A and B are shown apart, each in its own frame.
Chain A
Amino acid sequence: MTRFAWLQSRTQTLGVYAMLGALAIAAAITGVHLSNLYHSHILHCTIGCDLATTQFLHSDTFLRNSFDVLSLVTPALLGIFWGAPLLAREFEAGTYRLAWTQSVTRSRWLTTKLATGAGAVATIAGILTLVITWWYRALDKVGSNPYDLFERRDIAPIGYAVFAFAAGALIGVVIRRVVPTMAATLGVYVGARIVTTRLIRPHLLPPLHKTLSMLNADGFGFVSSDGSPITLVAKASAGSNTWTQSTQILTSTGHVASSAQLTAFVQQYCPAIANPPAPGAPGNGPVKAAPGVADAFHACRDEAARVFHLAVTYQPASRYWALQWLETGIFVALAALAIGGCYWWIARRAR
């Protein structure tokens, strides 16, 4: 049965591997160059380092954009073009009646098709991510927080691809038509990714807490929306290569500052900002400090640092791999559920 499964998927397997090969060659050639550039210009840089770094980060734009798009869409494509037709086409064309009446049990047929398919998809996603992660290693060292690239590097894309494949297979068993299955697979995949990113990943590990001075805030400013009194906002990072999940402004007693307290503070200590001398058109959003109020802005900020401080919740850099494994594990577990669903649904439909 394995030989037949291979025969059925041979063309697409070879096609994808050919593309991967071309990509790997391009990555190898330019990747070595990037690495050399990093060692010669960045690592031991002494003069004009900012400019050198900026230039370095802008090298190979085309390949970088291609890799960014590829790493984002490949799992979805594998689900749509490999997982979705795997079983849906057998039902749509009626060939399941041919396959299931050979001397191979239905469960063996299904196991072989799913196992070889999932294996191929995981390998493809794995190789692609490996190539991309390797190619980017120098650029990532200079320019990025690994948490920003969490979904495009290392092992998470393998989990995504396996899940997209299994979801496509299951939806194909239920819908039994190729094109609607492809559409539904895309929808389910995107939905699962959004739900995981927004609702699940932030709660996988209890975050660490840190208090920072207002002076360390990355962003400090004033906001007024819908004509309400001007209030104070601030945002901070827990440090490089960490994932800052939330920033709150605390009072000296350690409680979260209410908007009334913040408004009162602005009114009392930052009159130049609360009542700007030359109000432009009253509108929403941040109020830009005019040149004349720059001093007032700094005074206000220093005062705020005395009254308030910042509490951030974050995941440290050391948890990156734990979160990668958890994310991958979640998607592999979902894939296992979907594969179980294929067996269940096929047995149920015969009844």
Chain B
Amino acid sequence: MTTAMETAGVGKRYGRRWALTDCTLTIPAGRVVGLVGPNGAGKTTLLHLAVGLLEPSAGSISVLGERPNAGADQLARIGFLAQDSPTYSRLTVEQHLRMGEWLNPNWDAAFAADRVRDLGLDLGQRTGTLSGGQRAQLALTLAVAKRPQLLVLDEPVAALDPLARREFLQTLMEVVAVDGVSVVLSSHLIADLERVCDYLVVLVAGRVAIDGDVDELLAGHHLLTGPRRDHVALPGNTAVIEASHTEKQTSLLVRTETPILDPSWTVTPITLDDLVLAYMRQARDRDRDATSEPASRLAVAR
């Protein structure tokens, strides 16, 4: 198995609104994939499509080589932690573990018991009275004890305080290191994912803005600064993602495979944060242009 998830032209429509458009992705197996995008970008929709809670309106999706929700076997191979970590508030921690045992063929009861003990959760406590962090940890335990090949986490840390956030990601890294499971997790903040992800997908306004290996992405993007200029000549395979100008200076964020040799540019490496933000802004501006285009044409015609 080399791909954890593959989508081809996937779109999802709610009524007349497209939450996801023409999404084509290949996510390799054995990676920790960060799915990043602003609120409302379609992250949850994409993840729900991956775990079979939704079906695509267009295109096709395959997860671990099968259509999602194809049957009980397929379900057993995917662990899912939904946004806000839903649990049955009137059932106890122990009853949740029993649910996991009853409903999953590969349930790792020893792991689940160990984790719950390590987390210091009271087995007899109803989950409605757990803190947000504890609930997220319990939900993660449930998803992992299923012993899935792919773990899908939808904004697992969004509702957690910084300490709980760190502990959660710590747990996640331990689990992944031992298990070799593929992970896809989403967040609207790259800072959450930076330390755990080695593969990145940036989703903006229902479209994939960029995806790839984190190291390759960082190696392939540079920040160029130099004297102000209006026309920029760069090697042919270099793409300007973002350009900004002050009175005296021009800064460019470029994607390139060849080194920038022009001595008038100062080349600095970029952070993942810069990269994601640049692509988010680019996608947003493209969207804005696309919607304002008819108006400007009209102005020209007059």
Residues of A within 8 A of B (CB): 1, 3-4, 7-8, 11, 93-95, 97-98, 100-106, 108, 350-351
Q: Is B82 at the interface (CB under 8 A from chain A)?
A: yes
Cβ of A146 to closest chain B Cβ, rounded Å: 43
Q: Are A98 and B82 in contact (CB under 8 A)?
A: yes
Indicate whether B180 reaches chain A with its CB closer than 8 angstroms: no
Decide if B139 is an interface residue (CB 8 Å cutoff).
Answer: yes
Q: Which residue of B lies closest to A93 (CB)?
A: B86
**Given that A97-B53, A97-B80, A98-B82 are contacting pairs, would A103 and B88 also be in contact in the complex, using a CB cutoff of 8 Å?**
no
Asked if B99 and A103 make an inter-chain contact with CB atoms under 8 angstroms apart, the answer reads no
In this complex, the member of A1, A4, A98 whose beta carbon has the largest number of chain B beta carbons within 10 angstroms is: A98
Q: Which residue, A97, A104, A108, has most C-beta atoms of chain B within 10 A?
A: A97
Task: Given A4-B99, A7-B91, answer yes or no on A103-B72 (Cβ-Cβ < 8 Å).
Answer: yes
Q: Tell which of B69, B75, B78, B86 touches A98, judged by Cβ atoms closer than 8 Å.
A: B86
Q: Which residues of chain B have C-beta atoms less than 8 A from A102's C-beta?
A: 75, 99-100, 103-104, 146
Q: Given contacts A100-B53, A102-B75, A350-B53, is CB(A7)–CB(B98) below 8 Å? A: yes
Per-position contact with A for B64-92: 1 when CB-CB < 8 Å, else 0?
A: 00000101110110111011101111110
Nearest CB in chain B: distance from A257 CB, A: 61
Q: Whose C-beta in chain B lies nearest to the C-beta of A102?
A: B103
Most chain B beta-carbon neighbours within 10 Å: one of A1, A11, A102, A103:
A103
- Choose from B53, B83, B86, B103 the contact partner of A95 (Cβ within 8 Å): B86
Of all chain A residues, the one with the shortest Cβ separation from B89 is: A93
Contact B89 A105 (CB under 8 A): no
Is the CB–CB distance between B102 and A4 below 8 Å?
A: yes
B54 touches A101 (CB 8 A): no
Chain B residues within an 8 Å CB radius of A100: 52-53
Q: Are A104 and B51 in contact (CB under 8 A)?
A: no
23 CB-based A-B contacts, threshold 8 Å: A1-B102, A4-B99, A4-B102, A4-B103, A7-B95, A8-B88, A8-B91, A93-B89, A95-B88, A98-B86, A98-B88, A100-B52, A101-B52, A101-B53, A102-B75, A102-B146, A103-B76, A104-B75, A106-B69, A108-B72, A350-B54, A350-B55, A351-B55
Interface SS of B by simple majority = loop
User: Do residues A94 and B75 form an inter-chain contact, with CB atoms below 8 A?
Assistant: no
Interface residues on B, range: 35 or more
Minimum CB–CB distance for A288 against chain B, Å = 63
CB distance from A92 to the nearest CB of B (A): 10
Q: Please, how many angstroms separate the alpha-carbon atoms of A7 and B98 in the complex?
A: 10
Closest-by-CB residue of B relative to A3 is B102
- A7 to B78 Cα, complex, angstroms: 24
B57 within 8 A of A: yes
Q: Is B227 an interface residue (CB 8 A)?
A: no
Are A95 and B87 neighbours in the complex by a CB distance under 8 Å?
A: yes
A108 to chain B, nearest CB (A): 8
**9 extra interchain contacts, Cβ-Cβ under 8 A, other than A7-B91, A7-B99, A104-B72?**
A4-B102, A8-B88, A93-B89, A97-B80, A100-B53, A101-B143, A104-B75, A105-B72, A351-B54
Q: Mark B226-251, 1 if CB is under 8 A from A, else 0.
A: 00000000000000000000000000
Rounded to whole angstroms, the CA-CA distance of A350 and B139 in the bound complex is 23
At the interface, yes or no: B9 with Cβ under 8 Å from chain A? no
CA gap between A93 and B72 in the complex, in Å: 24
A343 to chain B, nearest CB (A): 14
The 3 closest A-B pairs by CB, nearest first: A97-B82, A103-B76, A102-B103
A46 to chain B, nearest CB (A): 62
By beta carbon, the residue of chain A nearest B146 is: A103
- Quick check: is B269 within 8 A (CB to CB) of the other chain? no
B105 within 8 A of A: yes
